[in-house]
Amino acid sequence: MKIQAYLSFNGQCQQAFDFYQSLFGGEIINRQTYENQKIDIPEQYRNKLQHAELKGKGFHIMGYDASPDTPITNGTNVQMSIDFDNHEKAKEIFKHLAASGKIQTDFQKTSWGAHFGRITDQFGIGWMINAK
């Protein structure tokens, strides 16, 4: 299991990651846009980042440009992300975090071949659960 922060942006993920890279070094990896994705995104947003990672010695930051219909405000622009190798363990953790919280995305099979769900827990912390 690995837990890390996942940053949300209003269309400036690439600029933010370029800035962070200039400060911390590292390499921007796994850069994926909304281009060719079968989701409801405005055409002018297709070149925005659906996922990116900045990885270097001692750090690993992930982020994305939230879709225009997803409100981003200070306090909701950081998500805790957990990657699991075990689908059942991921499902169990998702269930416990959701018990007194609010589910944004049900734990389900995704287009990237994993199971994924998103929740805000009872303390107001956003969690993204991913299992391959």
Per run of 10 residues, the mean pLDDT along the chain (length 132 residues) is: 85 91 92 87 90 91 89 77 90 91 93 92 85 91
36, part of any domain = yes
> In terms of domains, do 58 and 120 share one?
no
* 95 and 51 part of one domain: no
Reported for 32-36, long-range contacts at CB under 8 A and 24+ positions apart, including other chains, are 34/65, 34/67
The verdict on 61 and 112 lying in the same domain is no
The pLDDT assigned to 72 comes to 81
- Looking at residue 79, its pLDDT comes to 82
**Strand 115-120 to 59-65 pairing:** unpaired
Instruction: Note the pLDDT of residue 42.
Output: 85
For the chain, the domain total comes to 2
Domain membership of residue 52 (yes or no) is: yes
Q: Look at residues 98, 132, 126, 103 and name the one whose alpha carbon lies nearest to residue 4.
A: 126
